Amino acid sequence: MAVMDKIVLRDMKFYGYHGVFPEEREKGQNFYIDVEAYLDLRRAGETDELEDTVDYSKIYDIIKYINENNKFRLIETFAHIISREILSTFRQIDRIVVRVRKPEAPIEGEFKWVGVEVERFSNEL
């Protein structure tokens, strides 16, 4: 049976220097990131112990570190690196979905945000 449990982090806000245009990498802008990490949480549900799950504060710290130490041209790369680092850090995660939203993208016209969503699996590492 497929694992349906997940840990969810929504609307994490980071100020970063990612974008195709030089001014985006110099001036910076806000990015919003969502993560859904799929894993079996039955043991954690039974034991009530942190070591039987994934500490979501550590997921946040990974994303914060990636954001603060890189200037990606593409948010596709940003999302991919986030997913890869989380999967390689937490081997108990089977599948991850990462969404990176860019509400201040340099596009003429009205929009709430643009973004990408990537889905990766532990067996792809």
What tens digit of pLDDT does each residue of 48-103 get? 999 999 999 999 999 999 999 999 999 999 999 999 999 999 999 999 999 999 99
Contact 14, 60 (CB under 8 A): no
Burial class from Cβ neighbours inside 10 Å (0-12, 13-18, 19+) for residue 45 reads exposed
Question: Domain locations in the chain?
Answer: 6-124
Write down the pLDDT at residue 3: 64
Write down the pLDDT at residue 80: 98
Exactly one of 13, 27, 102, 112 is catalytic; name it.
102
Q: What's the CATH number of domain 6-124, 3.30.1130.10, 3.40.190.10, 3.10.310.30, 3.40.50.720? A: 3.30.1130.10
Contact 102, 114 (CB under 8 A): yes
> Beta-carbon neighbour count of residue 119 at 10 Å?
13
> Beta-carbon neighbour count of residue 118 at 10 Å?
19
> Beta-carbon neighbour count of residue 92 at 10 Å?
15
Write down the pLDDT at residue 2: 66
Confidence of residue 24 (pLDDT cuts 50, 70, 90): very high
Q: Answer yes or no: 27 catalytic.
A: no
Write down the pLDDT at residue 4: 84
Residue 30 has pLDDT above 60, yes or no: yes
